Amino acid sequence: MKKAADALAQSATEAAAAAPSRPSRRSALQGAGLLALGAVGGCALPVGADSRATVQTPFDVARPLLPIVGTSEQFPVRRIYCIGRNYAAHAREMGSDPTRELPFFFQKPSDALQLVAPGATTDHPYPPLTKNYHYEIELVAALSKGGRNIAAGDALQHVYGYTIGLDMTRRDLQRAMGDEKKPWEIGKSFDRSAPMGPLHRVADVGHFTRGAIWLKVNGQVKQSADLKQMIWSVAEQISKLSEAFELMPGDLIYSGTPENVGPVVRGDVMEGHIDGLPNLSVRVV
């Protein structure tokens, strides 16, 4: 026992000796706190955010990134927000009244992102626990500016770019949890539930307020609509979302899916399209 205690004391001493050249966890946290104070003054880092150049961690955690088309840069993804029932016909098929409902939002973890490179078909694993795995094709907006209570008229200035994405859904689990008034996470927010293409800058593709959006499965059209049929526009979504959450650079927003969501099984190939963006192709494996 004495030996072990000595060894512990020894290693503690070594740690103390090493401390001046290596920021301790406590000082790192204090540093993050200072950065968080900076956030009040407009710095983008929230409480607990690190500055990877100075903070030491016992292991690395992958940071979700989206390639930015036409550049060598990657877009760092902070949060993935999704709006529910944002096309009237889809709201009806999900059993709600599109004329009365305020927009509502849920999140997927940012590491649910699965990058789908254009011009190829990406394998997407069928997830566990479900027997009713649904596609939802959606326009995704990416923010480079944050804020609270953003006016709809100013909201598009916060958008850096757009891509096409799938809000993959374990529909049976989502419905079961809804029926029991439990959270949707297991139905919506699981691993790789957010396949999407690389990001296109507004400077290159403009804003998306209209244009065809469709999804084919094995070459057959399943979903087909126009972006102008959204109940809440991207600008309105940003505005509403910013009343509930402080938005930050790096946030993504799935803008809702049109009607005719439906199931896929292993072997199915989904092809998604939005006018002005390259198609997305995913094989369920």
Nearer to Mn ion, 160 or 254 (CB): 254
Nearer CB in complex with Mn ion: 68/166: 166
Minimum distance of Mn ion from residue 188's CB (angstroms): 8
What secondary structure does DSSP assign to 41-85, as a single string? TT-S--TT---TTT---SS--PPPEEEBTTSS-EEEP--EEEEES
Cα dihedral 243, 141, 94, 240, rounded to 10, equals 10
171/188 Cα distance (integer angstroms): 8
Task: Select 167 or 251, whichever has its Cβ closest to Mn ion.
Answer: 167
Q: How far apart are CA 102 and CA 209, in angstroms?
A: 20
Q: Judged by CB, which is closer to Mn ion: 250, or 258? A: 258
Which CB, 32 or 106, lies closer to Mn ion?
Answer: 106
Between 82 and 150, whose beta carbon lies closer to Mn ion? 82
Burial class of 208 by CB neighbour count within 10 A (0 to 12, 13 to 18, 19+): buried
* CB of 20 vs Mn ion, minimal distance in Å: 51
Q: Enumerate binding residues for Mn ion (CB under 5 A).
A: 136, 167, 257
In the complex, minimum distance from the CB of residue 104 to Mn ion, in angstroms, rounded to a whole number: 11
Q: Checking DSSP bridges between strand 74-76 and strand 212-217, what pairing results, if any?
A: unpaired
8 Å CB contact between 140 and 252: yes
Q: Which residues contact 216 (CB under 8 A, 6 or more apart)?
A: 222, 270, 271, 273
CA–CA separation, 18 vs 176, rounded Å?
53
Residue nearest to Mn ion (CB): 167
Q: Cβ 284 to Mn ion, closest distance in Å? A: 17
Considering the complex, what minimum distance in angstroms separates the CB of residue 245 from Mn ion?
A: 18
Closest separation in Å from C-beta 213 to Mn ion: 12
